[in-house]
Structure 1
Amino acid sequence: MQILKEKDALKKLVKALKNERKSIGFVPTMGALHEGHLSLIKQSLSSCDKTVVSIFVNPTQFDNPADLEKYPRTLKDDVSKIQSLSPEVIVFTPTATEIYGDQISSEEFSFDGLEHQMEGRFRKGHFNGVGTIVKKLFEMVEPDRAYFGEKDFQQLQIIRKLVEKNSLDVEIIGCPIYREYNGLARSSRNERLSPDARQNAAFIFQTLQKVKDDFGTKSASEITTWVSEVFKAQPGFELEYFEIADSETLESMKDRGSNHKYRAFIAAYSGEIRLIDNIALN
C-alpha cells in the first residue's frame, strides 16, 4: 500500500496513472473510517483501475473549534481497514500546512443558493470550507469518479454544483446511507456517543420512517409540528432543525409539485454530539 503525505508525490503518481490510461476513483474522508466509508471504497474498487482515499480533518469546514479538536483521529486503524479491502489503494494523508500553506482559510463560493439551506443556516462558512478542500483535492487527484455518501445529502448536492460551476471533469457518485443495525446513520461522530445514547439514537431514523409513511396523507406543516413534538418528548435529544425539501434545490417544500422529488432532513444533538440524517420521501 502506498501512503503519501506530500501533494507533489501524489501529483507525480497521478500523472503516471494518467499516462497509463488508468481510471482513478477517489474517496475523500476525514478519517475515523467506518463501514459507510468502506462501502464507498468498495464501490470505487469495483469500477475504477485505481482508488485514492484521502484522510484529512479539514479545519476550514468546522464552525466550532471544540468540534474540530474532539473529532476522532484514528489513522493507524484507518489504514488497517483500507489494507483489508485492498493493498492497492493509494492513501493520501496530508497535513493542514501541506494543503493550505501558511494561510489556512477558505475560498468564497456561490452554490446558487444551495449553501443557504439547512446546514448553511446553522454552520456559518461550512460549505466554503467543503468547497475549498474538495476543489483542492480534485485538482490534485484528477479523479474520473468521486464517491460521496447520501447521509450528507446537502454536501453531495453542493459538490455536484461545485463540479458544474467550475467545469471539473469528474463524475460524482452518490452512494446510499450505510446504517448501523438499529438504523442509526453511520458517522464518525457515533464513536463519541455513549452505548445508551448510540442505542437510543435509532429514534432519529424511526422518526424519518414515520415521516415517509405520513408524507402522502399529511401536509409538511403537520408533519413538522409532529416531529417537533416527538423530539420534545424524547429525553436526551434536542432538535436543531427538521426540513422537508426539494431534492434538487433543497428549498423547503411549500406546495407539493407532481414532478418533484422530496427528502426529509434532520439535525439533532445527543448531548454535545451533533447527528444528521435524511430520507427520500418519494
Structure 2
Amino acid sequence: MLVFSSLSELRGWRAQQTADPVALVPTMGNLHQGHLQLVKRAQQATSQVVVSIFVNPMQFAANEDLDRYPRTFAEDCAALEALGVTAVFAPTVEDVYPRGLANQTSVTVPEISDILCGASRPGHFRGVATIVCKLFNMVQPDIAVFGQKDYQQLQVIRLMAADLSMSVDIIGEPTERAEDGLALSSRNGYLTTEERAKAPFIYQLLQQLAEQLQQGVAPAEVEQRGLTALTEQGFRPDYLSVRRQQDLQPVAAADTKLVILLAAYLGNTRLIDNLCMQR
C-alpha cells in the first residue's frame, strides 16, 4: 500500500493511472467498520482505491472537538492495508490550506447548508464542501464513496458536484450499524458505558416514527412525538425533522420518499442518525 503525504507525490502516481478508474473514500481517520465498508464498496467498483485521512479544521467551530478528535493513523493504515487499499493520502493542514484558513477560498452550497445540522453548526458544510472539492481536485477520482449516516452531508456533496459540473460518480453507502442498531461513528468512543447502552434508542425511535408516517400520521406530529420521546429518555434533542429525500425540503402532501433526520446530545456527545422510508 502506498502512503502519500504530499500533493506532488499523489499527482505523480495519479498521472500514471490510465487503465482503471480511481475511487476515493474521504475520511478523517479513526476508522471503524463503517469506514471499511465504504472502502469495500469502492473496491467493488474498481481496483484502484485511494483513502484520504485528514482531520479538516475548516468544518469544526471554535467550541467543537477538533483538538480531541481521535487520531489513530498507524492503526488506520494497518486496517486499510489488510483490505488491500491501493493508496492512502494523508496531507498536512499546511499542505491543504497553505494560505491559512482565514485566506482560503471556500465553497458554499446554498440553502441546504443552512438547515438541520447547518443551522446548529454554522459554517460546517462550507468546511465540508471546501475540503471535498479540494480532495476531488487533488485526487481526481472517477468515483467517490460516502456514508448515508451523514445524509445531509451526502446531499450537500451531490449538489456541489452537480453545480460545479464535476465528473465524479458519487456513491452513497447505507449506514453501518452495531448489532444493537447504533450507527457507527468515531464519536461513539466519547460515550460512557451507561450512555453507550442507552444510545441505540435513537435507531429504535427512528423505526417507530417511520411506521407512524406509513400509518398516515402527519410529519409535524411525528416530529413532536420524536422530540418528546428523546427528552423522556434522557437525550437533549438538537433537531428531529421529516424531510423529502432529494433536497431535504419540508414534506408536501404528494411526497412519498421521505427521510427522518435527528441530532441529539447524550451527555456531552452529539449523535446523528437518519432513516429513509417511503409512505
Q: Same fold (TM over 0.5)?
A: yes
Tell whether the 8 Å contact from 1:61 to 1:128 is kept in structure 2 after alignment.
Answer: yes
Task: Name the residue aligned to 2:155.
Answer: 157
Task: Name the residue aligned to 1:265.
Answer: 261
Task: Name the residue aligned to 2:238.
Answer: 240
Structure 2: how far apart are the matches of 1:238 and 1:57? 26
2:66 is paired with a residue whose SS is helix
Q: For residues 128-172 of structure 1, what are the alpha-carbon distances to aligned partners after superposition, in whole Å with 9 as ceiling and x for unaligned?
A: 101110011000111110000000011101111111111111100
Report the TM-score when normalising by structure 1.
Answer: 0.94
Structure 2: how far apart are the matches of 1:75 and 1:65? 24
Q: After TM superposition, list the pairs within 5 Å mapping 1:192-271 onto structure 2.
A: 192-216=190-214, 217-235=216-234, 237-253=235-251, 255-258=252-255, 260-271=256-267
Pairwise CA distance, 1:47: 1.5
Task: Name the residue aligned to 2:87.
Answer: 90
Taking a change above 3 Å as real, the CA distance of residues 107 and 246 of structure 1, as seen in their structure-2 partners, is farther
Tell whether the 8 Å contact from 1:96 to 1:104 is kept in structure 2 after alignment.
Answer: no
Task: Name the residue aligned to 2:3.
Answer: 3
Pairwise CA distance, 1:232: 1.8
Pairwise CA distance, 1:110: 4.1
Task: Name the residue aligned to 2:128.
Answer: 130
Taking a change above 3 Å as real, the CA distance of residues 27 and 117 of structure 1, as seen in their structure-2 partners, is same
Q: Which amino acid aligns with 1:213?
A: E
Tell whether the 8 Å contact from 1:51 to 1:89 is kept in structure 2 after alignment.
Answer: yes
1:63 is paired with a residue whose SS is coil
Structure 1: how far apart are the matches of 2:133 and 2:177? 28
Structure 2: how far apart are the matches of 1:262 and 1:166? 26
Structure 1: how far apart are the matches of 2:62 and 2:34? 24
Structure 2: how far apart are the matches of 1:228 and 1:50? 44
Task: Name the residue aligned to 1:23.
Answer: 21
Aligned residue pair count:
276
Pairwise CA distance, 1:64: 3.9
- Quote the RMSD (CA, aligned, Å): 1.3
Pairwise CA distance, 1:185: 0.4
Tell whether the 8 Å contact from 1:62 to 1:68 is kept in structure 2 after alignment.
Answer: yes
Structure 2: how far apart are the matches of 1:64 and 1:256? 40
Report the TM-score when normalising by structure 2.
Answer: 0.95
Q: Does 1:14 align with 2:14?
A: yes
Structure 1: how far apart are the matches of 2:107 and 2:197? 38
**Percent identity over paired residues:** 37
User: Which of 49-58 and 221-230 deviates more?
Assistant: 221-230
Structure 2: how far apart are the matches of 1:199 and 1:83? 32
2:239 is paired with a residue whose SS is strand
Structure 1: how far apart are the matches of 2:99 and 2:197? 42
Q: Which amino acid aligns with 2:144?
A: A
Q: Which amino acid aligns with 2:142?
A: D
Task: Name the residue aligned to 1:114.
Answer: 112
1:277 is paired with a residue whose SS is strand
Structure 2: how far apart are the matches of 1:261 and 1:98? 41
Pairwise CA distance, 1:104: 1.9
Task: Name the residue aligned to 1:57.
Answer: 55
Structure 2: how far apart are the matches of 1:268 and 1:232? 9
Q: Which amino acid aligns with 1:219?
A: A
Structure 2: how far apart are the matches of 1:103 and 1:138? 20
